[in-house]
């Protein structure tokens, strides 16, 4: 049976402190898919959120095994090849299943901006940009990184002052207006604003997939 | 710049390598290995300056469950690089290491015989694409854009794996297409 592609949301395991406890997708530990001529998966190692978004290429029977894991959510149907993946991405999100929406929001991805006309690629682009921002902040040992670890429904007033001061300065450094933010503003509003304003280069999850 | 090479045929690691994590040593006046029991080690070739697109290649003397492998974009003065290393026999993992924090990029690789003596393991990086290979056979790529610059190096898990030689160098850019267009309006505008 030919291998097919499918997107998944998996737990991100590890603390990153050693290579044995590296940040990784739960898929690495399951050992169902290892890179060879018939299977592989690509994942973003997210250091701020306990989630890993993955594109898996494997035989359908293995997709069944992966999807049966209670910690893993399938985010797409099985897609025959990269052309089909790209075609699927360019279609509207439509009615995002409530369980998927709730899961991604609890992971820290604000989805309030998504409407029926939003394409899946646009959704993945926002998620990719959020991921890239967090990667860069972590690499720069920037305390603004910790802002993206907060719950989306937390108010700015409840964010520790050192973190909110730093994220405010970080936004100003990028020319973003912060005058509208008050103590009652939600973290999700700030994250959505940042993602709407920044314009990062395209990000790749797979060598042939641009977001 | 030209490729750099090291056969480790001497008593000590020498000044061309900067150890950024753990300890690295020469064994038997012929091979290089980590020298931190139960811990990781990283070293970076410092004798040349590389652009961001380069490769690092090692030849395995002793493969082991606590292995190691080539590293690229190893930053000066930091435990930051990409490393393709064998955590167990015939299994390889792509690590993105930032300030000593490890993350795994994608699936582990299962490659039969790949940790045997004499195996050549290479990791190349071009732009945001990481391409590992075993004995010249390219493996599945990974993409990541979080580490830029740096240079080639070697990583080790514990003290058991050793490598008999190392090679590193730039990845030749595709021939630049330089097209000089003459714009008549430009001449008017600059007057």
Domain B4-189 superfamily per CATH: Exo-inulinase; domain 1 (2.60.120.560)
Is B109 within 8 Å of A47 when comparing Cβ atoms? no
Average confidence (pLDDT) over B44-63: 93
The pLDDT of residue B173 is: 64
Task: Name chain A contacts of B110, Cβ cutoff 8 Å.
Answer: 34-36
The pLDDT of residue B65 is: 67
Spell out the alpha helix ranges (H) of chain A: 26-30, 60-67, 82-89, 98-107, 120-139, 161-173, 187-197
The pLDDT of residue A202 is: 81
Q: How far is B186 from chain A (nearest CA, A)?
A: 30
At B4, is the pLDDT very low, low, confident or very high (cuts 50, 70, 90)?
A: very high
Q: How far is A161 from chain B (nearest CA, A)?
A: 25
Residue B45 and residue B32 in contact, taking contact as beta carbons nearer than 8 Å: no
Average confidence (pLDDT) over A19-38: 94
Task: Name chain B contacts of A18, Cβ cutoff 8 Å.
Answer: 40, 102
Q: Which three-class secondary structure string do you get for B66-121? A: CCEEEEEEECCCCCCEEEEEEEECCEEEEEEEECCEEEECCCCEECCCCCCCCCEE
Residue B175 has pLDDT above 70, yes or no: no
Q: Is A22's Cβ below 8 Å from some Cβ in B?
A: yes
pLDDT above 70 coverage of chain A, percent: 100
Query: Sign (positive/negative) of CA torsion B135, B126, B70, A200?
Result: negative
Residue B189 has pLDDT above 60, yes or no: no
Q: pLDDT tens digit string along B118-174?
A: 999 999 999 999 999 999 999 999 999 889 999 999 999 888 889 999 999 999 765
Residue A143 has pLDDT above 70, yes or no: yes
What CA–CA distance (Å, rounded) separates B131 from A101? 34
Is B104 within 8 Å of A43 when comparing Cβ atoms? yes
- Paired with A210 in beta bridges are A204
The pLDDT of residue A146 is: 94
The pLDDT of residue A188 is: 96
Q: pLDDT tens digit string along A70-124?
A: 999 999 999 999 999 999 999 999 878 888 889 999 999 999 999 989 999 999 9
Q: pLDDT tens digit string along B11-41?
A: 999 999 999 999 999 999 999 999 888 889 9
Which is higher by pLDDT, B152 or A205?
Answer: B152
Residue B53 and residue B170 in contact, taking contact as beta carbons nearer than 8 Å: yes
Q: How far is B185 from chain A (nearest CA, A)?
A: 32
Q: Is A42's Cβ below 8 Å from some Cβ in B?
A: yes
Which of residues 47 through 66 in chain A touch B, CB cutoff 8 A? 47
Which of residues 73 through 132 in chain A touch B, CB cutoff 8 A? 132
Residue A44 and residue A53 in contact, taking contact as beta carbons nearer than 8 Å: yes
Is B147 within 8 Å of A36 when comparing Cβ atoms? no
Nearest to A28 among B40, B98, B108 (CB): B108
Task: Name chain A contacts of B112, Cβ cutoff 8 Å.
Answer: none
pLDDT above 90 coverage of chain B, percent: 72
Q: How far is B64 from chain A (nearest CA, A)?
A: 15
What CA–CA distance (Å, rounded) separates A75 from A96? 10
Taking 3-state DSSP, the helix, strand and coil percentages for chain B, each rounded to the nearest 5, stand at 5, 50, 50
The pLDDT of residue B184 is: 38
Average confidence (pLDDT) over B65-90: 91
Report domain extents, chain B: 4-189
Q: Is A37's Cβ below 8 Å from some Cβ in B?
A: no
Residue B183 has pLDDT above 60, yes or no: no
Mean pLDDT of all residues in chain B?
87
Interface predicted TM-score of the whole assembly (ipTM), two decimals: 0.90
The pLDDT of residue B191 is: 32
The pLDDT of residue B44 is: 97
Is A34 within 8 Å of B141 when comparing Cβ atoms? no
Is B104 within 8 Å of A206 when comparing Cβ atoms? no
Task: Name chain B contacts of A205, Cβ cutoff 8 Å.
Answer: 143
Strand bridging mode B68-74 / B129-134: unpaired
Residue B64 has pLDDT above 80, yes or no: no
């Amino acid at each position: 049976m030919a291998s097919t592609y499918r997107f998944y949301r998996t737990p991100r395991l590890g603390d990153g402190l050693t290579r044995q406890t590296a940040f990784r997708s739960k898929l690495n530990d399951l050992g169902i898919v290892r890179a060879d001529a018939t299977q592989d998966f690509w994942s973003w190692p997210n250091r701020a959120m306990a989630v890993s978004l993955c594109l898996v290429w494997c035989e359908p029977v293995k997709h069944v095994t992966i999807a049966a894991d209670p910690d893993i959510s399938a985010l797409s149907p099985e897609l025959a090849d990269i052309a089909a993946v790209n075609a699927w991405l360019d279609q509207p999100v439509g009615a995002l299943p409530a369980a998927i929406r709730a899961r991604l929001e609890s992971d820290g991805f604000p989805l309030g901006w998504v409407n029926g006309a939003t394409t899946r690629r646009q959704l993945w682009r926002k998620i990719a940009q959020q991921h890239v921002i967090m990667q860069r902040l972590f690499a720069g040992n920037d305390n603004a990184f910790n802002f993206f670890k907060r719950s989306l429904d937390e108010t700015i007033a409840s964010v520790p002052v050192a973190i909110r001061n730093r994220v405010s300065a970080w936004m100003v450094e990028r020319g973003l207006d912060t005058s509208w933010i008050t103590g009652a503003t939600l973290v999700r509003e700030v994250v959505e604003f940042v993602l709407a304003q920044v314009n990062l280069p395209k990000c790749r999850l797979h060598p042939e997939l641009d977001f | 710049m030209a490729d750099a090479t090291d056969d480790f045929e001497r008593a000590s690691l020498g000044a061309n390598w900067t150890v950024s994590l753990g300890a690295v040593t020469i064994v038997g006046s012929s091979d290089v290995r980590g020298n931190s029991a139960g811990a990781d080690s990283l070293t970076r070739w410092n004798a040349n300056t590389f652009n961001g697109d380069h490769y690092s290649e090692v030849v395995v003397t002793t493969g082991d469950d606590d292995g190691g492998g080539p590293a690229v974009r190893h930053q000066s003065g930091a435990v930051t690089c990409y490393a393709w290393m064998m955590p167990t026999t015939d299994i390889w993992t792509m690590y993105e290491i930032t300030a000593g924090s490890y993350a795994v990029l994608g699936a582990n690789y299962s490659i039969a015989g790949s940790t045997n003596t004499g195996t050549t393991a290479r990791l190349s990086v071009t732009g945001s694409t990481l391409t590992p290979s075993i004995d010249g056979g390219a493996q599945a790529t990974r993409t990541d854009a979080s580490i830029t610059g740096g240079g080639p190096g070697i990583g080790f898990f514990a003290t058991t794996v050793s490598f008999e030689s190392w090679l590193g160098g730039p990845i030749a850019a595709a021939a630049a297409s330089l097209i000089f267009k003459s714009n008549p309006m430009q001449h008017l505008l600059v007057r």
